[in-house]
C-alpha cells in the first residue's frame, strides 16, 4: 500500500470513530445539569457557612434538594442538542431564541464559558 492509502484509511477511521462516539441529547443535558448543580451547591454553601444551628442546616438541605429538582426540570425543558454526525452542539432555547452554549465530540461535551456568566447573573 502507498502512504497515501494509509492516510486515507486513517482519516476514514477517525471519522468513523467520531461519528460512533458522538454524544446524544441526554449527555448534553447531563453536563448542563452537573454544571448548574455545582454552581447551586457552591452558592448554598456560602449561605450555610453563616448559620450553624440544626434547623438551618436541615432547611438548607431541603432547599438544596428542591433547587436541584427545579434545575433538573428546567434543563430538561430548555436544553437540546443538534446532531451534525461527527459532532453535536448544546443548545438552550429561552423566549423562543436558541443559543449554542457547547459542543460534543468523541463522547465528551464541552460547555462554553458563556454558561458561567449566565448562571452568575
CA dihedral 98, 27, 33, 73 (to 10 degrees): 70
What nine digits make up the cell of 66? 428542591
What pLDDT digit, counting tens, does each position of 57-111 carry? 666 667 777 777 888 888 888 888 888 989 999 888 888 888 888 889 998 999 8
What pLDDT digit, counting tens, does each position of 53-65 carry? 666 666 666 777 7
Does residue 8 belong to any structural domain of this protein? no
pTM of the model: 0.74
What nine digits make up the cell of 25? 441529547
Does residue 6 belong to any structural domain of this protein? no
Helix axes 25-48, 54-78, angle to 10 degrees: 160
Share of the chain above pLDDT 70, in %: 79
Does residue 48 belong to any structural domain of this protein? yes
pLDDT tops 80 at residue 8: yes
Its domain, for residue 109, covers 24-120
Does residue 18 belong to any structural domain of this protein? no
- Please name every residue paired with 104 in a beta bridge, in sequence order, or none if there are none: 88, 109
86 phi and psi angles, rounded to 5 deg: -85, -25
Provide the domain count of the chain: 1
Average pLDDT over residues 39-56: 66
Amino acid at each position: 500500500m502507498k502512504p497515501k492509502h494509509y492516510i486515507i484509511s486513517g482519516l476514514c477511521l477517525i471519522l468513523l470513530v467520531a461519528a460512533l462516539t458522538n454524544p446524544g441529547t441526554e449527555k448534553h443535558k447531563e453536563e448542563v445539569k452537573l454544571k448548574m448543580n455545582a454552581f447551586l451547591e457552591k452558592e448554598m454553601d456560602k449561605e450555610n457557612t453563616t448559620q450553624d444551628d440544626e434547623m438551618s442546616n436541615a432547611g438548607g438541605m431541603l432547599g438544596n434538594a428542591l433547587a436541584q429538582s427545579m434545575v433538573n426540570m428546567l434543563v430538561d425543558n430548555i436544553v437540546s442538542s443538534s446532531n451534525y454526525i461527527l459532532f453535536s452542539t448544546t443548545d438552550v432555547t429561552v423566549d423562543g431564541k436558541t443559543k449554542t452554549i457547547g459542543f460534543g465530540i468523541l463522547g465528551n461535551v464541552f460547555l462554553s464559558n458563556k454558561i458561567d456568566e449566565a448562571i452568575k447573573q
